[in-house]
């Protein structure tokens, strides 16, 4: 039936009896290869971005409920053995957790791990970039929603724009490439800057990605802008950029493990990417699972379904039981979400899910 390498093969029904084991790569019930695991190492963050959480923050997970580093390493060893060989560390803000460089070093030594990356707000990146690169981190994505200092303070409610820019420079100096800039576009907040941000790609080593703001429900701040009119479609952003700077040409070849579509301005060294979870969802090609800071395995970012992996770990479960837990999550991946219909079912704060 399949011409792919042997894998977890399924019918179109999420039935565990239809799964066939292999060490190469798992496929879900809709024939999507699952090879990417995003791990939230903490729910703590040193910023309070208006579309992510309220200014006072959110109730934090008790320290004893956060996965320990040795637990994360064990999980990744099992995941990589199953074929989930692309790992991204997220938060909260991963660099606020003590000892994260040591975690990177432990993960980087896992055999057959193909990619190890991190998403960060960049505030502390200047301090840690060289050590992270030496430990084995290959790439970083840096969140940056504005190039204006005053607006940066308004969006993040704390921190300095220059710290983020310095973090980017430090990552490049440490040899981590590409450094991608993630810009969440929100109408009335920063949508007037998309041309200025895209223009940066005319310079060396600038790669930017524009992301549609997603509904966060109660997890977002009072300015979470999910009323429909906060969303600026990727198509609208692209139109603004092309009107001001010229046509965007598709970039061919390998550009990453995520859902972005990449383009290049005429004569540009860098790339412009678009991630459109609301208006042009990419569920048909979703290749990921997410692990929350307290050990819940999520088949989908926008779903209430989660599997308690921490209980398996701390209950004495062996590696086979961990693999079975991953299998349950893979089987449970839905065909897609319903954001375009204004329906969202997120019940966890984004700082716990990891984006």
CA distances 110 to 87, 214, 295, 346, Å, are 11, 34, 20, 32
Using the Cα atoms of residue 89, residue 262, residue 232 and residue 281 in order, give the sign of their dihedral.
Answer: negative
Q: DSSP letter string over 254-284?
A: ---SSS-EEEE-TT-SS-EEEE-TTTS--GG
| pLDDT for 53 | 86
Per DSSP, the residues of 90-135 read ESS-GGGSTTHHHHHHHHHTSTT--EEEEEE-STTHHHHHHHHHHH
Separation of alpha carbons 291 and 312, rounded Å: 14
| DSSP result, 297-308 | EES-TT-S--EE
Note the pLDDT of residue 224. 46
Closest CA to 36 of 97, 89, 110, 105: 89
Q: What is the pLDDT of residue 305?
A: 84
- CA torsion through residues 165, 259, 333, 79, sign: negative
The tokens of 104 are what?
């990177």
Q: What is the pLDDT at residue 10?
A: 33
Low-confidence stretches of the chain (pLDDT < 70) are: 1-24, 215-229, 254-257, 281-282, 337-355
- Residue 256: the pLDDT is 64
Q: Classify domain 16-353 at the CATH superfamily level.
A: Aldolase class I (3.20.20.70)
Query: Among 228, 247, 250, 237, which Cα is nearest to 210's?
Result: 237
Which residue is associated with the tokens 């701390």? 314
């Amino acid at each position: 039936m399949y011409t792919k390498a042997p894998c977890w093969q399924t019918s179109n029904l999420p039935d565990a009896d239809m799964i066939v084991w292999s060490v190469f790569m798992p496929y879900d019930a809709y024939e999507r290869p699952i090879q990417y695991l995003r791990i939230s190492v903490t729910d703590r963050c040193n910023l309070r971005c208006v579309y992510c959480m309220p200014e006072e923050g959110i109730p934090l997970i008790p320290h004893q409920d956060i996965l320990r580093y040795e637990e994360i390493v064990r999980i990744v060893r099992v995941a990589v053995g199953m074929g989930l060989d692309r790992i991204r560390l997220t938060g909260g803000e991963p660099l606020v957790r003590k000892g994260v460089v040591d975690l990177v070093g432990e993960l980087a030594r896992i055999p057959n791990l193909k990619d190890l990356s991190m998403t960060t707000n960049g505030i502390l990146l200047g301090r840690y970039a060289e050590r992270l690169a030496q430990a084995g981190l290959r790439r970083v994505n840096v969140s940056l929603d504005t190039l204006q200092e005053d607006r940066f303070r308004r969006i993040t409610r704390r921190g300095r724009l220059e710290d983020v820019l310095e973090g980017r420079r430090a990552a490049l100096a440490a040899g981590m490439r590409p450094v991608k800039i993630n810009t969440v576009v929100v109408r009335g907040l920063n949508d007037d800057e998309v041309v200025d941000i895209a223009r940066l790609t005319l310079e060396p080593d600038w790669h930017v990605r524009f992301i549609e703001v997603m509904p966060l429900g109660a997890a977002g701040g009072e300015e979470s802008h999910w009323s429909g009119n906060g969303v600026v479609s990727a198509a609208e952003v692209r139109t603004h950029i092309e009107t001001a700077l010229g046509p965007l040409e598709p970039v061919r070849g390998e550009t990453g493990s995520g859902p972005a579509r990449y383009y290049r301005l005429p004569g540009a060294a860098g790339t412009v990417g678009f991630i459109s979870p609301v208006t042009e969802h990419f569920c048909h090609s979703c290749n990921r699972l997410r692990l929350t800071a307290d050990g819940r395995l999520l088949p989908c970012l926008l779903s209430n379904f989660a599997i308690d992996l921490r209980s398996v770990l701390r209950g004495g479960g062996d590696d086979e039981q961990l693999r079975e837990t991953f299998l349950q999550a893979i089987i449970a991946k839905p065909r897609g979400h319903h954001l375009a219909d204004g329906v969202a079912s997120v019940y966890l704060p984004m700082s716990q899910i990891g984006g």
